[in-house]
Structure 1
Amino acid sequence: MTMIPYIQAVVLSGLVSLLAAGALAQDIAGSGDHPLVGRYQGSQIVAFEQRAYDEIALPDRIVPAGQEREPEGWTVDLAGEVTSIRYEGPEGRSALEVMRNYQQALEGNGFETVVFCVREDCLERGGMSALWDAARGGIGMPTTWDKSIYLFARTKGAHVGMLAVETGSGTAVVPHVAVTVVESDAMDTDQIGFVEASAMEEAFAQDGRIAIYGIYFDFDSADLLPESDAQIAELARLLSENESLNVVIVGHTDSIGAFDYNLGLSQRRAQAVVDAVVSGYGVAAGRLTPAGAGMVAPVATNRTEEGRAQNRRVEIVELYSEG
């Protein structure tokens, strides 16, 4: 099992008292809670499957109007180790209460909530059955899709999709929760790493810009990782050896998350690169202009993890002027 932030998972029991990790006597044989998610106290596991590798699409946004039959426009393709669990109960607890507890526990465990929607809020217009079918991750669920609640969250190397529905009514209401956990490698492995100053110069002459994948940030942060040091130093060398060269440092993100948030994050990341070059190598601040493009200029599809990895980048754009 990948279990990348496994150590963080121990905080679940203290975050929300209603979530407990221990298996119950009525759970089906061979099942167990996922350590990144836990369980709502009093519920039982009625379906369980783990696959060392699988590919699955889960909703990562509300369903746009008129696109109920086009899930490729509102789902994200994920691949890795997949754990599928269905919880049932406890009787008398609403699905909304259960899901809010899960949301709080996941966020306390380092996850970012990408989608949390209740019933009709999950769609701009149309029926709920399309979302219900995609959000359950292939797990058998009661077809009370008009009572659906959906949660999609992510952290470095893991995504969690959760669909809740209710059966019964009043004090006899019973929540059902389908949990899909997809764990992939913690680091992107398909990116170009180090780019030499000479290669940057050649790119400027031909295209006026170059995409850099050797500058790394903490997940959902503008904090530069130590792995970025070599590429930052090479960018500083390029500027030091070409005193007439001015550049724009452009941050780019994938499409996961809100537009305004990603725009701000990309601006902060661009500024972090500028600050590192200026403070660490004495390059004049006026020669580097930070700019955030957010998700507006993808170089690949955002429907796959591979495509999103290509879209998360820093571009160096030459500011050329004659004379």
Structure 2
Amino acid sequence: MSLRRLWCLHVAGLRWLAHVCVLVAIAPARLAAAELMLPAEAEALSQRDTALGVYQLPTGPERADEVPSQAFEGRISRRTWRLPPAGSALEVLVPLRAQLVEQGYEVHLDCAARDCGGFDFRFGIEVVPAPDMMVDISTYHFLSASRGDEAVSLLASPAGGVTFLQIITVQPPEAAAAVTVTKPAALPAVPGPSLVDLAKTLEVRGHVVLTDLEFESGSTRLQEGAFPSLRALAAFLGDNPQYRLLLVGHTDTVGSLQQNIGISERRAQAVKDYLTQRLEADGSRIDVAGAGFLAPIASNLTTEGRLANRRVEAVLLTE
């Protein structure tokens, strides 16, 4: 009969996760599946499972258009989450890496975007399609590890003002259970795109992407929704009369530059209209501008990149 042991790890200096507990099932002969603990505010986006397949676990950075890999056969689970901004992709992966090492996994590859191989590495590995996983080519971080015939890869990337996390795991066919990822019920949830998060991002970085807004390619219509980011933005303006905001619209590269500048400005205006008409924000302190496709945050060669580039950002100004 297997035993269960609770491993607790204190991670200092990470804003989004200060204490994690890893529940590991320990069998007499071998460790069973590991469990990774995510912060309570992590929002699950997708899960794709393959009962029996082969996963090429990346084991080295891209070289000469190839990504070194090792094949693992078994049950493959692909899952993604969205987290509040964490400062960097590495900050997201540090506590997860510690959990894996604690459970006996050997790390094969641990690299930032440039060291991994940038664009070529990103498109040489398996990534869940957008919008369930978004990857900024310049700021992602990747980690792969194995333990015997078990494998796991982690991919984290800030994109569109939040952080996306992908975890792919492989368990051998005879394993009793797949790797599971849980969130601690006892830890209080951080209130998503809250006033605190938005205000901190604005004051530290000077701008924030309003990630819960969606525009179809070529469209300027803001669809119906609660839009927590806009409610937080209106509250921020109300609490900080010393500041002004510039709403900047952005597009993908479909169409001419002149057309896209017009579209992006109208998108920013649609956001201002929502703030002033529905949330009663002070319109005299909100300006709008359109950048078209001149400031992409992802590649326009992919569907996911174009989706990320269609956005509105709030830029902090002083009175």
Structure having the higher helix fraction is 1
User: Highest Rg: 1 or 2?
Assistant: 1
Is TM (by shorter chain) over 0.5?
no
Structure having the higher strand fraction is 2
TM-score, length basis structure 1: 0.43
TM-score, length basis structure 2: 0.43
